[in-house]
């Protein structure tokens, strides 16, 4: 899952860079407003790429899931102020 998200992230960021380069290297020769529009579109890609890369997949371990080490889990529960044993 992580590798696929990483590949999608880099593809989206690569597309963003290509759009910026095309906008100011090629498109501006014919139409500056079109180049600006292309840059505005490219500007929206990085936040979406970050959301895609940081999305939790169905098989991903969440930060507060039990680790499987009962002593460690009890220690973290004590630090977090949780009482009782964890349900498994």
Task: Identify the band that residue 40 occupies on the pLDDT scale cut at 50, 70 and 90.
Answer: very high
Task: Identify the band that residue 24 occupies on the pLDDT scale cut at 50, 70 and 90.
Answer: very high
> Does a structural domain hold residue 51?
yes
- Tell me how crowded residue 35 is: count the other CB atoms within 10 A of its CB: 20
Domain count, the chain: 1
Q: Which is higher by pLDDT, 53 or 88?
A: 53
Give CA–CA dist 3/39, Å, rounded. 28
> Does a structural domain hold residue 13?
yes
Closest CA to 42 of 58, 69, 22, 57: 22
pLDDT at residue number 87: 54
Parent domain of 15: 1-56
> Does a structural domain hold residue 69?
no
pTM of the model: 0.63
Q: Which is higher by pLDDT, 81 or 50?
A: 50
Is residue 34 scored above 60 in pLDDT? yes
Task: Identify the band that residue 11 occupies on the pLDDT scale cut at 50, 70 and 90.
Answer: very high
> Does a structural domain hold residue 73?
no
> Does a structural domain hold residue 10?
yes
> Does a structural domain hold residue 83?
no
> Does a structural domain hold residue 20?
yes
> Does a structural domain hold residue 16?
yes
């Amino acid at each position: 899952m992580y590798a696929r998200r990483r590949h999608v992230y880099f593809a989206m960021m690569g597309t963003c860079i290509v759009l910026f380069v095309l906008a100011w290297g090629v498109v501006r020769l014919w139409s500056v407003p079109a180049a600006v529009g292309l840059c505005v579109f490219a500007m929206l890609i990085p936040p979406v790429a970050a959301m895609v890369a940081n999305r939790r997949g169905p098989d991903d371990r969440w930060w507060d899931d039990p680790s499987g080490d009962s002593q460690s889990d009890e220690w973290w529960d004590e630090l977090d102020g949780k009482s009782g044993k964890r349900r498994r």
